[in-house]
Chains A and B, each alone.
Chain A
Amino acid sequence: MAKTKVLLSGNEAIAQGAIQAGCTFYAGYPITPQNELIAYMAKYLPASGAVKGQAARVFIQAESELAAINMVYGASAAGARAMTSSSSPGISLKQEGISYLAGSQLPAVIVNIMRGGPGLGNIAPAQSDYFQATRGGGHGDYHVIVLAPASAQEAYDLTQSGFDLADKYRTPVMILGDGVLGQMMEPVKLSSRKIKTPPVKSWALCGCAGRKPNIAKSFFLREGALEEFNLKLQKNYQIIQQKEQRFEGLFLSDAKVILVAYGTMARIAKSAISQLRNAGKQVGLIRPISLWPFPERAFQIKNNRVKYLVLELSYGQMLQDVRLAVNGRQQVEFLGRSGGGILSQEQIIDKVKKIL
């Protein structure tokens, strides 16, 4: 692409980020509000430049969300950088496959452009899949790395990081956005670097010429074997928690009230903060970028009189992680809407004024 800055929706920015990251396999199923992503992949992925060491880039519209995630399982086991995307009800269906990916230590990027729930819910933006995303989501003792972009640019960048993290830690990575992020168009500065070459994967299934067979599996029947494996996963998770916490902090040195918000909600929070700052109110922001690992480090603020105000497009999900991170040292307040309602700047400002 000749132009370095283009106008993309969040969905398209994620897709373009994946292409840049050397993703060679995408399988998906249509669902609103992430349809631009699958359409972009259909149009551009097979035609994008070759990735070194990999066969052609493949796009498949799967017959179901289950099939899509299991195709990703196969492609990942075969050594490809593989991705699927969906929205909330579709992600629920994919949880089986995500658990198997985690249990087989297979890297993959899974995109959830959240909509309202539970059930079929609606197609309005929401953040109500936070628990599902950050607690593993499927059965078993596992986590996936969860990255939450707040702009099309960040969606493009984090998708690329997502592939790197997935390969580095051999784990599924989720890009968690909401319907606003997915649909909103913004300028995105594209990377001028060459398309990434994924790392060589000695564990991949590619035929056993010159070596013992490789097996992709999550099944450990022998007594003690699963516990041993789960401890290995836990060790990996501890390293991820130490090394991969990401957040953006704003006005943290003098803030009396710190807003805590991610994704689109953080954009609205920033607008509220600039208005409050103009009125002389000492308000700051912690914007978690990695939701798992949760950036507990951001909450190591010594002033015990600081108050946190957690803002969500859900009813107190991230709130629990903030409380765990704060661990009773400071007051934690909450304001949230869900089911398609979006907190306004004014609602935030009113709440801040009450607790300041």
Chain B
Amino acid sequence: MEKIFKRGESLYDVATHYCPGCGHGIAHRLVAEAVDSLGIREKTIGVAPVGCAVVAYDYWNFDCSEAAHGRALAVATGIKRVHPEKVVFTYQGDGDLAAIGTNETIHAANRGENLSVVFINNAVYGMTGGQLAPTTLLGQKTATSIEGRTKKAHGYPLKISEMLALLPGVCYIERVSLENPQEVLKAKRAIKQAFENQINNLGFSLVEVLSPCPTYWGLSPKESLDWIKLVMRKEFPLGRIK
């Protein structure tokens, strides 16, 4: 029998450490598939964040660097400037990219660094136990917003993608979701686009991925996917932002 669908070379055949229903496994695979479909595995350098995906390099079969919490885009800037001909990307969560690393994010984007960013937005800090994230929705209960996020106490969910779209150095921003197979396929196309933009020297590209965290949303995996569709997307509408 002919095998028509298989694991790509960029993804190791190992079990991940992620919780049941977590979106990271899918997102990792989408990155690996984009790399393989472009045939760039041997010239790709990934930068892993601090957060649930801290050991992403245990799952990807290409060169990777760690970065201190929030500093992925500074590290990626250093790598890319040394190797302009390689394909360099960061994979970061909402706390990493939009809270502790906001400065690095905005300035790398504003310099128009020729980088690709996969930004996982699950509206919560996962690795540390489900605390309030910059992207936590109003009313959403977390370990540090026990009664739910309020605008008075915590401010509003941060729409960093819309903010970055204002910068002239940014060439492409799209928000996608992992809520169902159809949206996953769109996410795959968007991530591939972000890599292609870099190969074509177009500048800074970012794909924001709405990703489920059943564990810290207090929902089942299926309910989490519905929550993205019915609740999260209202605050973070899908589609091309730039």
Instruction: Report chain A residues within 8 Å CB of B85.
Output: 55
The answer to whether A78 and B57 touch across the interface, beta carbons within 8 angstroms, is no
Q: What B residues does A79 contact at CB under 8 A?
A: 82
Determine if B43 and A74 form an interchain contact, defined as CB atoms under 8 angstroms apart: no
Chain A residues near B107 (CB-CB < 8 A):
62-63, 67
Query: A72 to B135, alpha carbons, bound, how many Å?
Result: 30
Partner of A70 from the list B54, B60, B71, B81 (CB cut-off 8 Å) is: B71
- Name A1-31 residues within 8 Å CB distance of B: 24-25, 27
| Residue of A whose beta carbon sits closest to that of B12 | A213
A73 touches B78 (CB 8 A): yes
B residues 62-117 near A (Cβ < 8 Å) are: 62-68, 71, 74-86, 103-104, 106-107
Which B residues are CB-close (under 8 A) to A64? 103-104
Q: Which of B41, B45, B67, B77 is A205 in contact with, Cβ under 8 Å?
A: B45
CB distance from A218 to the nearest CB of B (A): 6
Bound Cα distance A213, B64 (Å): 7
Question: CA–CA, A217 to B47, complex, Å?
Answer: 10
Tell me the minimal C-beta distance from A102 to chain B in angstroms: 12
Q: Assess whether B45 is in contact with A62, with CB atoms less than 8 Å apart.
A: no
Would you call A77 an interface residue if the criterion is a C-beta within 8 Å of the partner chain's C-beta atoms?
A: yes
Complex Cα–Cα for A77 and B82 (A):
10
> A215-B57, A216-B66 are known contacts. Are A74 and B78 too (CB-CB below 8 A)?
yes
Inter-chain CA distance A74–B78, complex, in Å, is: 4
* Contact present for B78 and A70 (CB under 8 Å): yes
| Pairwise interchain contact A58-B57, C-beta atoms closer than 8 A | no
Known A-B contacts A70-B71, A206-B83, A206-B86; the reply to A219 vs B42 at CB < 8 A is no
CA gap between A240 and B119 in the complex, in Å:
42
CB contacts (< 8 Å) of A74 on chain B: these are 47, 65, 67, 74-80, 82
Is B44 an interface residue when CB atoms closer than 8 A count as contact? yes
- CB neighbours (8 Å) of A97 from chain B are 68, 71
A279 at the interface (CB under 8 A from B): no
Q: How far is the CA of A206 from the CA of B80 in the complex (A)?
A: 10
Decide yes or no whether A100 CB sits under 8 A from chain B.
yes
- A80–B75 Cα distance when bound, in Å, is 13
A66 within 8 A of B: yes
| Closest beta carbon of chain A to B44's beta carbon, Å | 7
Contact with B along A207-219 (1 / 0, CB 8 A): 1111001111111
- Judge whether A75 is part of the interface by a CB distance below 8 angstroms: yes
Bits for A82-115, please: 1 = Cβ < 8 Å to B, else 0. 1000000000000011001000100000000000
Give the distance in Å from the alpha carbon of A54 to the alpha carbon of B76 in the complex: 17
Given A58-B82, A100-B68, A206-B83, A214-B63 contact (CB < 8 Å): yes
Minimum CB–CB distance for B14 against chain A, Å: 13
Size bin of chain B's contact surface = 35 or more
Q: How far is the CB of A239 from chain B (nearest CB, A)?
A: 25
What B residues does A27 contact at CB under 8 A? Answer: 78
Residues on A with beta carbons closer than 8 Å to the beta carbon of B84: 55
For B60, what are the chain A residues with a Cβ–Cβ distance below 8 Å? Answer: 213
Q: Which residues of B contact A76 (CB under 8 A)?
A: 78
**Given the interface contacts A67-B74, A70-B78, does A205 sit within 8 Å of B42 by beta carbon?**
no
- B61 contacts chain A at the CB level, 8 A cutoff: yes
Complex interface: chain A residues within 8 A of B80 (CB): 74
Find out whether the CB atom of A73 lies under 8 angstroms from the CB atom of B67: yes
- In the complex, which residues of chain A have a beta carbon less than 8 angstroms from the beta carbon of B83? 55, 78, 205-207
Residue pair A205, B43 in contact (C-beta under 8 Å): no
A221 at the interface (CB under 8 A from B): yes
The answer to the question of A71 belonging to the interface, with a C-beta cut-off of 8 Å to chain B, is yes
Quick one: which of A72, A75, A210, A217 contacts B66, CB cutoff 8 A?
A217
B82 touches A55 (CB 8 A): yes
A60 within 8 A of B: yes
CA distance A217 to B79 in the complex (A): 14
CA gap between A64 and B73 in the complex, in Å: 13
- Given the interface contacts A25-B81, A67-B104, does A205 sit within 8 Å of B57 by beta carbon? no
Interface string of A187-227 (1 = CB under 8 A from B): 00000000000000000011111100111111101000000
User: A67 to B72, alpha carbons, bound, how many Å?
Assistant: 9
Shortest distance in angstroms between B103's beta carbon and chain A's nearest beta carbon? 6
Which of A68, A73, A78 is the most central at the interface, judged by chain B CB atoms within 10 Å of its CB? Answer: A78
Closest to A77 in B: B65
Nearest residue, chain A, Cβ from B77: A71
- Cross-chain contact B78 with A205 (CB below 8 angstroms): no
Contact in complex: A215, B81 (CB < 8 Å): no
Contact across chains for A63 and B104 when beta carbons are under 8 A apart: yes
Give the interface centre of A64, A100, A216 by most chain B CB atoms within 10 Å. A216
| Residues in chain A near residue B52, CB distance under 8 A | none
Please name the residue on chain B nearest to A62 by beta carbon.
B74
Q: A63-B107, A78-B78, A213-B61 are in contact. Are A208 and B42 (CB under 8 A)?
A: yes
Residues from chain B with a CB closer than 8 A to the CB of A75 are 78-79, 81-82
* Beyond A27-B78, A74-B79, A215-B64, 7 extra complex contacts between A and B, CB < 8 Å: A55-B84, A63-B107, A67-B74, A73-B65, A74-B76, A78-B45, A217-B66
A residues in contact (CB < 8 Å) with B? 24-25, 27, 54-55, 58, 60, 62-64, 66-68, 70-80, 82, 96-97, 100, 104, 205-210, 213-219, 221
Which of B's residues lie within 8 Å of A, judged by CB?
Answer: 41-45, 47, 54-55, 57, 60-68, 71, 74-86, 103-104, 106-107
Please name 6 pairs of A and B residues whose Cβ atoms are closer than 8 Å in the assembled complex, sorted by A: A24-B82, A55-B83, A63-B107, A79-B82, A207-B86, A221-B55
